[in-house]
């Protein structure tokens, strides 16, 4: 899972109101060159969307985001999610993810969060909300005391094609997450060609970085 994410370095944060959008969205991302999807457990359609992607697109690494409790972790895993993320750090959620065999990245924002995550055995962490929590300077500061532990971050929150390169140049950054190229309005409008265009643009920017 980590190798797949490190290869592309971009995780699309997806909110789907209708599971019927999952497949055309997957096609649009694949057409743009991206084979990773994080479908957030914020809507009733999330579970079914993950199930559809897992069944129909074995070439896609599909994950579940916004996993806030043990039940959601189990449901995501049963639906076929191959990884999970959360905006915050919940030891119970981490424990259940480990029990069911779901690679899991909790969210952190402070040095204490990072230490808690390390003590829970987690080394690939979502840094959220990235821009609000200090962005690139904060990640560089965290790299000082924690870089030698092998911890890596997936900053998410406020990232776009305009600032993604500055994040990806920080050595402790494994990948970035963002919703700008899979925006709800684009999905609702079925504007798949624009999603493909923005995906291609994002991947090119990541490649340059």
Q: Which residue in 8, 38, 47, 77 is the catalytic one?
A: 38
Q: Which residue in 8, 77, 126, 152 is the catalytic one?
A: 126
Q: How many CB atoms lie within 10 A of CB 84?
A: 26
Contacting residues for 203 by C-beta, under 8 A, at least 6 apart: 8, 10, 32, 33, 34
Nearer to ligand 3PG, 132 or 149 (CB): 132
Can 77 be counted among the known catalytic residues? no
3-state helix, strand, coil in the chain (%, to 5): 50, 15, 35
Can 126 be counted among the known catalytic residues? yes
Sites of contact with ligand 3PG (CB under 6 A): 13, 87, 128-129, 156-159, 178-180
What DSSP state is assigned to residue 16?
-
Nearer to ligand 3PG, 84 or 178 (CB): 178
Closest CA to 75 of 57, 100, 98, 52: 100
What DSSP state is assigned to residue 90?
-
What DSSP state is assigned to residue 122?
-
Nearer to ligand 3PG, 159 or 170 (CB): 159
Q: How far is CA 114 from the centre of its chain?
A: 18
Q: How many CB atoms lie within 10 A of CB 155?
A: 31
CB of 191 to ligand 3PG, least distance (A): 17
Nearer to ligand 3PG, 21 or 105 (CB): 105
Q: Which are the catalytic amino acids?
A: 38, 126
């Amino acid at each position: 899972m980590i190798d797949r994410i490190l290869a592309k370095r971009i995780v699309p944060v997806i909110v789907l109101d209708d599971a019927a959008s999952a497949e055309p969205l997957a096609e649009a991302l694949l057409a743009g060159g991206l084979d990773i999807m994080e479908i957030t457990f914020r809507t009733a359609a999330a579970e079914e969307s993950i199930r559809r992607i897992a069944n129909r697109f074995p070439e896609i690494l599909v994950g579940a985001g916004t996993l806030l409790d043990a039940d959601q972790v189990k449901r995501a895993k049963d639906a076929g999610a191959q990884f999970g993320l959360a905006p915050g750090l919940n030891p119970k959620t981490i424990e259940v993810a480990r029990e069911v065999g779901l690679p899991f990245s909790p969210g952190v924002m402070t040095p204490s969060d990072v230490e808690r995550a390390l003590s829970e055995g987690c080394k690939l962490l979502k840094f959220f909300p990235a821009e609000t929590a200090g962005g690139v300077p904060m990640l560089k500061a965290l790299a000082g005391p924690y870089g030698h532990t092998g911890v890596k971050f997936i900053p998410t929150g406020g990232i776009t094609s305009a600032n993604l390169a500055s994040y990806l140049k920080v050595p402790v950054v494994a990948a970035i997450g963002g919703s700008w190229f899979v925006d709800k309005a684009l999905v609702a409008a079925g504007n798949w060609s624009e999603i493909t265009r923005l995906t291609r643009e994002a991947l090119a920017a990541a490649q340059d970085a």
